[in-house]
Structure 1
Amino acid sequence: MQPCLATALPRSLSPWTSAARWLLVAWMLACAGGCASLPANENRTPSTAFAQPDQTPLGQLVEQRRAQAGTRSDSAFALLDSVEIALTSRIALVDGARRSLDLQYYAIHADASTEVLLGKIREAARRGVRVRILLDDFNSVGEDAQVLRLAFEPNIEVRLFNPLPGPRNSVLARVMTSLHDVNRMQKRMHNKLFIADNAWGITGGRNLGDRYFGSGEKQNFVDLDVLAAGRIVRDMSRSFDRFWNDKLAYPVQTLLDREELDALSKPKPPAQAPGAAVPLPAAQARPVLPISVSPTVLPSVTTGEAQQAERPAMDLRAVKLYWAPSTLLVDEPGKVGPGDDEVDAGETVIDGLMNLMLQAQREVLIISPYFVPGPRMMAVYEQLRQRGVRVRVLTNSLASNDAPAAHAGYARYRQRLLDLGIEMHEMRSDPETAAELLGSSGGRSRSSGGGLLGSGPGGSKGDLAGSRASLHSKAVIIDQRLSVIGSMNLDLRSQIQNSEVALLIRSAPLALEATRQIEATLSSAAYRLEQKDGKLFWRAPRGAGFGDEDGEPGASTKLKLLVRVIGPFAPDEML
């Protein structure tokens, strides 16, 4: 039996859409009849990462930094633990690239922060850098579809992974036209990679967009990335190549052309009904036509907005690096493929992470915005606690969670987790938390002992007065020695539905730095979940500017009711 629609939707689609709109779109699509189909994907040209990174300035910089460090380690890492350096590090990689840029993302949003990056990527392509962008198809709709305009620029290729047939005017319309294949719709490429000249790269939990760089108007994500250099980046590139050359990676030109993008960028007349969008074109490749020169890549972003979001590049010669042994944990593209037998049990990123956790001797520290353990993960936590291993978890509260359905799944396990003696902490969502963790020059920075994320790129703390904080970091620290930082959540969706990628780094200094940042967040912006008189109780940190709560902190009655309605019907693996 197929799951109900609310549980079948990827997290990027909010469950708050009104029932009337759902019914209207369903009726219109039913009247349209038939099912859209994908075109053939036979004309894609295979390509691989640049093979000689040591012949580029970025590659030579790695060797210079290694010689200065006097180390035998072949890979180096730096935590990107503020929204400011998360953006400026990416700018540095684009500015420094001379041969290749490879980007792999679940979502790239069409806004000012992205315009800064895309504009620089276009400049890089025009100076001869080969650019490959691999994007999960699900979010490349509506205004965000304008990111695909880069596919029509010389020296840039853009491919969409596991595309869905149907209109691109909205996520809702695409979901409604794909209800006949819920299983395919659920499987998404969740990887995040940003690689320059096969010499330096970035991975972590962060997608690209204002909300991930501290400049979202209503919501900002608390996130964490790792900057990597050296041999490990070549492993990241090999993973990129496997996805790029996979049969599920469709060149944009086989799915839509420039005229269709232009149509999507124009304001829709008020009389146009939801779902009446540009249809998927015929199953044949389209010629690549250059887009006319424009001061911005994205039609929705003005030159002034792009200039305001602009930042100077990070100095890669000065960034503090930890040289350490490392391994790339990554799922195979087949995990996202059709059917349920593409990947054998025990071969996924989450399975590998569970095995690592079982080796813990003293402590496991987990950050996961969506925390729906499922039976196997619960068995791992139980084994750890039986051996006396301390387990601490930071996840979202109901109010800070951007996916209420995921919270419904997590809520099922809270009592059992507490009974095991697991220390549960939930992120506070209030604007004060956003100002504390994402505030700009007036806020705390990593050098001054701030929280998980320090200073942000925009203005003063007051700029975030109307924004709520939402946890989006994904990390596991084991015995303050091993750090796993990547795109994965500790839930069944990451285990069996999405493809994921993560770095396993064996460095006590880096693990200690990450732990200090996390603990600063726990002590300033998260509740500790406890039991009081047989009920759940949210205890505020000592000395915090907010108090204890005896119910879901900051959550509205409407939100609480929604979770209660969803809870009994939503399968764990769909949340």
Structure 2
Amino acid sequence: MNPLLRVVVLATLLLGSGCASLSNAERDRASGIAAQARSQVVDCDKPDRCALDSPLRALGGHAFSESTQAAPRHYATLVDEGEVALVARVNLIRSATRSIDLQTYIFDKDDSARLVLDELLAAARRGVKVRVLIDQLSAISDLQILGALASSHQNFELRVYNPTFGKARLNYADYAGSVLCCFRRFNQRMHNKLLVIDDALGVVGGRNYQDDYYDWDSEYNFRDRDVVVAGPVARGMAANFDAFWHAPRSVPAERLNDVGLILLKQGAPAMPPADYRRPQRVEQVIEEATDAEYVRRTFVDTALPVASVRYVADLPRKHRRERASQPANGQHVTEPQLDALISGAQSEVLLQTPYLVLSKPARKLFEELRKRENPPRIVVSTNSLAATDNPIVYALSYKYKRRNLRELGFNIYEYKPFPLDAPVDYRNLLPAPLGEAPAGDGKRSSLLGGSAAGSNARGGSGKSNRRSDGVAVQPAPTPATAEDESDRVADTARRQPTPGPAARRLNDGSAVERRVLRAETRPSFLGTKAVNKPLPVTRSGARMGLHAKSLVVDRRIGVVGTHNFDPRSENYNTEGAVIIDDPVFAEALAQSILRDIHPKNSWTVAPRTKPPVLSGLNYSVGKASEALPVLDFWPWRYATDYEFQPGPDCPEPLQRQDARFHTCYIAVGDFPEVNVGPKWLLVRMLTAFGAGLVPIL
């Protein structure tokens, strides 16, 4: 666009946005109002700031006491179950003695997010320095809350990363203007998720601060993963946080145009009172977070001693203008290191990503692996259309299934929307009237939702046996029939209707209309609501979608982080990951992923049986159609989803390359459990025209 025209359009949109920019003097006045309102009262005069005596926090001290400069010592705990991940965060916040640094992409104001906010404010009041850095696009947009947080306490600081037009809350004109004037900058998001306590412990993974990351949503929840790391690497995490905190794009909340205007007009607002939808559930998390024995059993006893730990994360300079013309300036940090791990694989790569969209460099990387005389086995755990929160991105994965299977040799497993053996307490998915406790006795079940080996295992064995071909095989049920009970409660949970006015009931039995910005969903210039949301499915009840981002190489190196292994993570977002070179940790992480691809939880993607006639012609035409940058309407696809059918001749799951595969598996269609209707046409249209969107998806 002509620069002059761009300025004119931008000015017009800003005038129509209803929030003119504040002058520097007005921002200074707003900052002064916030600073003057901040409480200076500290509730505790003890050296440890009245911190909770936590075995998990003590693990950080143990790691430092056992470390030397030449041989640092670390402990790592995988956290698979959502509500347990919230317990860990509350416990760590309460156990902080000096500092808390929190960095995230999404920060909502629902039950889980409000609980964390209140805990952070309580920590600040007892004397802990708290810094919170949120990305502007998908984080808190409530101006009253932002104004209250900015004015709350001298020990609490809040900054917003890359605020479009200097605002916290965007409207239609802002989104349209961002596309017209500064599309690339608007899409450059801080996708890092990091919690650092006293520079001694760090939490890294895919979870944001929203109910659906902690199994608290009545409609849709994410199957996600964190790793809690105790030891000297936390200092590197804190240093990376500092780089973002002091970056020019990180703006104090009180200096934003709309937040500043609130402060100028009405002074420092009060924090709205907490109004929990399920207060009993909040109380249970707090009770567990303050139960030393529970914390020890869940996070400390399952911690693995690991020596080689690295935290790799992009820096804010990835978003500088020269990044496109000078890619060698060191802006890319995360992606090259992950690529190097994959390229060094000898026998196996286990890759878990919500969005299977490969950039050209990634495709080339896997092509080179495929060319080897003995290429490593590539296993990919990703979402089905029924499970994904982002159907547009899934359409691109669907378009290239043939290439991914045949040319790259991927073994792809698509996560089911109603997995029967997910690491979740299924009773959390049962609806309850407002103000009532979840189904059951209020205690966490000992039979349900156990995480994988080495990952807070409380329910069942949580373990998988592995055959020589790498296929995960579930152990036989114990006499307590825990597996049957888990299946029963999971089936009950998925069949329950979603209650109340929070979601509009659809005729197909599923509810997907809550106005929640989930994961990578974001508004477009066409409006301020989420463009992408889960599609309607054929069954009622709370479903799950994969959001974990993990990698295991040769059962020796394990990676947990925020990188989606997609073009957006490579080119637009800043990302971070923990890389642990330790065979025991890698095996624990592998078992967690293998559990996710078990037939109870995922469908297997495999080539269709060849038609009796014209199979070669169908393949050739389909391949040619796939290669077209625009049109791709060829209806007979190379691959589809399959369901395992156990029986006397099929006692164990098989790889798709096994000669008996089509005997033991039945085709369930390209979009199983999706209430397709006109949605089939939508996916086909996106497949046909979406190739050009790959760089930003």
TM over 0.5: yes
Aligned counterparts of 2:581 and 2:266: Cα–Cα separation in 1: 45
| TM-score in terms of structure 2 length | 0.66
1:178 counterpart SS class? helix
CA contact (8 A) 2:87 2:285 kept: no
- For 1:444, the equivalent position in structure 2 comes to 449
Aligned counterparts of 1:481 and 1:33: Cα–Cα separation in 2: 53
- For 2:120, the equivalent position in structure 1 comes to 121
- For 1:281, the equivalent position in structure 2 comes to none
| TM-score in terms of structure 1 length | 0.79
CA contact (8 A) 1:372 1:406 kept: yes
1:574 aligns with 2:574: no
CA contact (8 A) 2:20 2:257 kept: no
CA contact (8 A) 1:366 1:477 kept: yes
Aligned counterparts of 2:333 and 2:224: Cα–Cα separation in 1: 23
Cα 1:397/1:171, change in 2 over 3 Å: farther
1:370 counterpart SS class? coil
Deviations 1:357-407 (A, max 9, x none): 111111000000012112211111122222221100011111211111211
User: Offset of 1:175 from its aligned partner?
Assistant: 1.9
1:14-33 pair list within 5 angstroms:
32=16
CA contact (8 A) 2:19 2:258 kept: no
Deviations 1:61-115 (A, max 9, x none): 4233676899954222110111132111101110101111100000111110112
RMSD in angstroms over aligned alpha carbons? 3.9
Aligned counterparts of 2:258 and 2:17: Cα–Cα separation in 1: 24
Structure 2's unaligned 5+ residue stretches are 3-9, 33-46, 428-444, 452-456, 465-481, 484-488, 497-540, 611-618, 620-637, 647-652, 654-664
1:21-420 pair list within 5 angstroms:
32=16, 61-64=59-62, 72-140=71-139, 142-143=141-142, 146=145, 149-154=148-153, 155-165=155-165, 174-179=174-179, 180-256=181-257, 291-292=269-270, 295-296=273-274, 306-307=282-283, 310-313=286-289, 315=292, 317-318=296-297, 319=300, 320-324=302-306, 325-338=308-321, 340-341=324-325, 343-344=327-328, 347-387=332-372, 388-420=375-407
Aligned counterparts of 2:603 and 2:357: Cα–Cα separation in 1: 19
1:425 aligns with 2:413: yes
Paired letter, 1:323: P
Deviations 1:539-574 (A, max 9, x none): 123549x96412222232333322322331442111
- For 1:531, the equivalent position in structure 2 comes to 607
Aligned counterparts of 1:309 and 1:145: Cα–Cα separation in 2: 27
Cα 1:304/1:214, change in 2 over 3 Å: closer
Paired letter, 2:342: M
Cα 1:390/1:198, change in 2 over 3 Å: same
User: Offset of 1:435 from its aligned partner?
Assistant: 6.8
1:360 counterpart SS class? coil
CA contact (8 A) 2:353 2:564 kept: yes
Paired letter, 1:472: H
Structure 1's unaligned 5+ residue stretches are 3-25, 46-51, 263-285
Cα 1:288/1:400, change in 2 over 3 Å: same
Greater Cα offset, 229-238 or 150-159: 150-159
Deviations 1:408-453 (A, max 9, x none): 22223211111132101111113x559775524352312324499x
- For 2:434, the equivalent position in structure 1 comes to none
User: Offset of 1:501 from its aligned partner?
Assistant: 0.3
Greater Cα offset, 229-238 or 378-387: 378-387
CA contact (8 A) 1:74 1:231 kept: yes
Cα 1:164/1:258, change in 2 over 3 Å: closer
CA contact (8 A) 2:310 2:580 kept: yes
Counterpart among 500, 503, 521 of residue 596 in structure 2 = 521
Cα 1:166/1:124, change in 2 over 3 Å: closer
Greater Cα offset, 220-229 or 414-423: 414-423
Aligned counterparts of 2:596 and 2:106: Cα–Cα separation in 1: 26
CA contact (8 A) 1:109 1:144 kept: no
Aligned residues: 513
Paired letter, 1:467: A
CA contact (8 A) 1:427 1:525 kept: yes
User: Offset of 1:310 from its aligned partner?
Assistant: 4.1
Greater Cα offset, 373-382 or 96-105: 373-382
2:243 counterpart SS class? helix
Cα 1:36/1:409, change in 2 over 3 Å: farther
User: Offset of 1:321 from its aligned partner?
Assistant: 2.0
1:355 counterpart SS class? helix
Aligned counterparts of 1:476 and 1:300: Cα–Cα separation in 2: 36
Cα 1:84/1:261, change in 2 over 3 Å: farther
Cα 1:344/1:36, change in 2 over 3 Å: farther
Aligned counterparts of 1:360 and 1:449: Cα–Cα separation in 2: 30
- Quick check: which has more Rg, 1 or 2? 2
